[in-house]
C-alpha cells in the first residue's frame, strides 16, 4: 500500500493549478480574441513602432489558429496525429490490465473495456490508477461482475507520470511485467511511452472518447500535444530503472 502522506505533491499542485488557469483562459473566447485583435491592430496605431508587420502578422496567425481549432476537421486531423503511431492490440495475454483514470465522463467506457478484457481472460488482474478515479473504477468493475481478488488500485496519481510510477511501485514487486493498458486514444501514445520507460511490456487497448463539446475536444488535443513535447524535453520517455523503494517520494515526480 502507498503511504497516504505521499499523495500530496506541492510541485504537482502548482502544475495542475496552472493547467486549470490556462484551460479557463483558452475556453473563454473573449479573453483570447480581444488581446489577439489588439495585437493585430494596435501596432498600426503606435507611431514609429518597429516590426509593425511582424506583430500584426503574428496576431493574425494566432487568431486564425484559435478560430479554426474547434472545427471538426481540425480536431480529426489532430487526433489522427496522436493515434498514428499507436501499435495495434496484439491480443496477447498479460499479467495485468491497467486502467488509467481521466475523470467521470471517461470512466464508464473504460470500465466496460477493462471488464470485457478480463472476461476474455486477457489478464487475471485489473489495476485502476488515478486520483478521484481509482476507487470509483473498482466499484464500477465490481458492478460488472469482476471479483474483489481480481482488482487492485491506487488513488494518489494525478499525472500520467505518476500513473506509471505508482503502478510500477505496486505491481512490479508482484512480478507484473506485461500489461494491457486502457485509456482513451488521444492519451494512449504518451501513456504507452511513459509506462514503457519503467520497463513494462505494454499492449495498448484504447477506450472510446465520450462525446465532447468542440472546445473541450480541442483542449484535450492541445494538452496531449503539449504533454508529449513536455515529457520528451524532460526525458520522460527514456528508459529508467524503478527505485527499489515501494513508496517513492511524489514531491520529486513533477507533472
Q: Which three cell numbers stand for residue 163?
A: 500513473
> What is the structure's pLDDT at 173?
94
- Residues 212-243, buried b or exposed e (16+ Cβ, 10 A)? eeeeebbbbbebbeebbeebeeeebeeeeebe
Phi, psi at residue 151, to the nearest 5°? -125, 145
Edge-first strand order for the sheet with 151-154 is 151-154, 126-129, 96-100, 178-184, 201-207
Mean pLDDT to the nearest integer, 35-39 = 92
Q: pLDDT tens digits, residue range 199-242?
A: 999 999 999 999 998 888 999 999 999 999 999 998 888 876 55
Mean pLDDT to the nearest integer, 81-89 = 95
Q: pTM for the whole thing?
A: 0.84
Which residues does 156 contact at the CB level (< 8 Å), separation at least 6? 2, 4, 6, 7, 131, 162, 166, 250
- For residues 170 and 137, the answer to whether their CB atoms sit within 8 Å is no
> What is the structure's pLDDT at 254?
44
> What is the structure's pLDDT at 217?
92
Q: Could you give all domains of the chain from N- to C-terminal order, each with its CATH number?
A: 9-68 (no CATH), 90-248 (3.40.50.620)
Separation of alpha carbons 85 and 42, rounded Å:
43
Which residues does 241 contact at the CB level (< 8 Å), separation at least 6? 199
- For residues 120 and 88, the answer to whether their CB atoms sit within 8 Å is no
Amino acid at each position: 500500500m502507498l503511504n497516504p502522506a505521499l499523495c500530496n505533491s506541492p510541485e504537482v499542485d502548482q502544475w495542475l493549478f496552472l493547467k486549470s488557469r490556462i484551460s479557463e483562459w483558452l475556453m473563454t473566447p473573449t479573453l483570447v480574441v480581444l488581446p489577439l485583435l489588439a495585437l493585430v491592430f494596435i501596432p498600426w496605431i503606435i507611431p514609429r513602432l518597429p516590426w509593425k508587420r511582424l506583430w500584426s502578422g503574428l496576431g493574425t496567425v494566432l487568431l486564425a489558429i484559435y478560430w479554426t481549432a474547434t472545427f471538426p476537421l481540425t480536431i480529426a486531423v489532430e487526433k489522427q496525429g496522436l493515434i498514428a503511431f499507436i501499435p495495434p492490440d496484439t491480443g496477447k495475454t498479460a499479467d495485468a490490465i491497467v486502467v488509467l483514470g481521466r475523470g467521470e465522463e471517461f470512466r464508464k467506457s473504460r470500465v466496460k473495456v477493462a471488464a470485457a478484457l478480463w472476461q476474455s481472460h486477457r489478464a487475471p488482474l485489473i489495476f485502476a490508477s488515478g486520483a478521484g478515479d481509482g476507487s470509483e473504477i473498482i466499484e464500477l468493475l465490481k458492478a460488472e461482475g469482476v471479483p474483489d481478488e481480481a482488482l487492485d488500485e491506487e488513488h494518489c496519481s494525478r499525472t500520467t507520470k505518476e500513473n506509471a510510477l505508482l503502478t510500477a511501485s505496486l505491481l512490479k514487486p508482484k512480478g507484473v511485467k506485461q500489461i494491457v493498458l486502457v485509456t482513451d486514444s488521444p492519451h494512449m501514445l504518451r501513456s504507452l511511452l511513459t509506462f514503457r520507460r519503467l520497463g513494462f511490456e505494454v499492449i495498448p487497448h484504447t477506450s472510446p472518447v465520450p462525446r465532447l463539446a468542440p472546445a473541450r475536444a480541442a483542449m484535450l488535443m492541445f494538452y496531449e500535444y503539449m504533454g508529449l513535447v513536455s515529457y520528451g524535453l524532460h526525458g520522460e520517455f527514456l528508459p529508467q530503472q524503478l527505485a527499489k523503494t515501494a513508496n517513492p517520494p511524489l514531491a520529486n515526480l513533477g507533472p
